[in-house]
Structure 1
């Protein structure tokens, strides 16, 4: 038997870091929303009691470093599953990009194995399990749009933002999230107004959404990687309505309301950046089939 799941990327409309906690994680406030760029996950039962990862992307690990592998292992251990599974990952989300590709793969694996192994778990139960794998996995189990607090595992659902285009541009290098957080100086950052972003989304006010994007991690990544700053300034020059780095980077996204402007931004970036995607905001929650 085979099960297919879609694993959408996310962007951070707002990302604030409040303080470092005693457990060495950071207390965050993030507004995340899914976009229509997704990996495809195919799960197939194995008779042998093993987990196998299959991917054509050389940057995707095929062992327990892979978050989808960790998700399958967690379900096997938690519920005493003696069956094996093959996990085929068709990678469309750039790797190490600040778009939660690995976390979304893990979340899709949790949802898919819930069906394949007939565990009958709710999304809330899957999200709680996902928090043991990584900070973004809980959000990715649900998808949609949400305020994430704690270390990212406490999820409060929000309405979908106003519909628009999202242009994603990733330079060739990857960024270590752990390294960025290690270098973060909270005395020297400008904190985004997360409450105003929530109000803008609830009021379906596109202009106010654009006015209130913000990410404290830019204070670390932009000085470290001039390529990211260059993409950001070029995206602004080509006319995106709002421009921000997603997560710890290096992907930069631009919000664009009108098709005519979209082509100008997209084509301008394609001139010097290899990985450019023009996608729609999804902003809608996943469901259980």
Structure 2
């Protein structure tokens, strides 16, 4: 296949995707009973990774903060027949997966990627499906159901911004509502924690300190609304590889910095620190370039890698300043977005009807 033919086919696919998005509406595709949800990104103001435990996990203390940047999700549930579920399982559709305690849950995911990454995630591998499957099992759901999900992605993948985890938390919130349980039901919270520390955080949102392996809520902090810019190179970083590199040469967060962070009652008073950053930069040296470039613009003390990367954030005084930095970073060839810290959590958007 020639390059021109390949480009023409890619352009045709993109145009078809754009046309599909333009025609999409929650009422038409999910029905009048659909739920709309906000699914925010997050950053770690503090990430202090400790020693590896016998179970392979690491002790961790972190202070997470939700962002205004968010994905939008729509979720609806309807009765399904055994034949419909069996047909989907047999066809091995990439947009659908079957789960539940008795293979009685069909989850169909429509993923609209608006980050420029052309993200493709088979439904069975999507944390949203895993959340639905785990909650159905935890609640002992016996009804055969079809759950339709639409995810409009604004949070880039492999950025350390928690987009997939936030989507999973939003799915738990939606299904709790649709299945008649509270979002803070112990079973919902237990499922969130089983899926990962970030998932549990997004049920809380705002700003919170977590301990244990980073999944145990220790306290809430007063959220900030400070503006920031996010900058991400095209390549990503494997979290598992970052931890392996960290274990080869662990560097603890300085005790004075950790004590100051853990004593802060307000997010604005948390000193920025991430001892996983050197390991991530060793795996992807371009991260050091991004950090140095941002430090030249705003000062090193206001710049930090997001988790294990590959996004880096820089705190600024105004949204206008964040927007200007995002434009300048884009000219360097990096993905960049202005946003701000936020009190958001994974939540249902009230209907205007």
Alpha-carbon shift at residue 73 of structure 1 (Å): 0.5
Alpha-carbon shift at residue 14 of structure 1 (Å): 0.6
Aligned length: 284
| Distance in structure 2 (CA, Å) of the matches to 1:84 and 1:260 | 44
Alpha-carbon shift at residue 146 of structure 1 (Å): 0.8
Match of 1:197 in 2: 261
Match of 2:73 in 1: 41
* Residue 140 of structure 2 is aligned to residue 80 of structure 1: yes
**Structure 2 contact 65–208 (Cα < 8 Å) conserved:** yes
| Distance in structure 2 (CA, Å) of the matches to 1:98 and 1:236 | 19
| Distance in structure 2 (CA, Å) of the matches to 1:84 and 1:159 | 39
Equivalent runs, 1:125-274 vs 2, <5 Å: 125-185=187-247, 187-192=249-254, 193-200=257-264, 202=265, 206=268, 208-209=269-270, 212-239=271-298, 242-259=302-319, 261-274=321-334
Alpha-carbon shift at residue 15 of structure 1 (Å): 0.3
Kindly name which structure, 1 or 2, has the bigger radius of gyration based on alpha carbons: 2
Alpha-carbon shift at residue 280 of structure 1 (Å): 1.4
Alpha-carbon shift at residue 62 of structure 1 (Å): 2.9
More helix by share: 2
TM-score under structure 2 length normalisation: 0.75
Moved more, 261-270 or 63-72: 261-270
**Structure 2 contact 242–283 (Cα < 8 Å) conserved:** no
- Give 3-state SS (helix, strand or coil) of 1:55's partner: strand
Alpha-carbon shift at residue 93 of structure 1 (Å): 0.3
Alpha-carbon shift at residue 69 of structure 1 (Å): 0.4
Match of 1:50 in 2: 106
| Distance in structure 1 (CA, Å) of the matches to 2:224 and 2:192 | 28
Match of 1:27 in 2: 59
Q: Cα deviations across residues 132-180 of structure 1 (Å, max 9, x unaligned)?
A: 1122111111111111111221012322344310111111012111111
- Give 3-state SS (helix, strand or coil) of 2:333's partner: coil
Which runs of 5 or more structure 1 residues have no equivalent in the other structure?
none
- Give 3-state SS (helix, strand or coil) of 1:132's partner: helix
| Distance in structure 1 (CA, Å) of the matches to 2:189 and 2:157 | 22
TM-score under structure 1 length normalisation: 0.90
Match of 2:162 in 1: 100
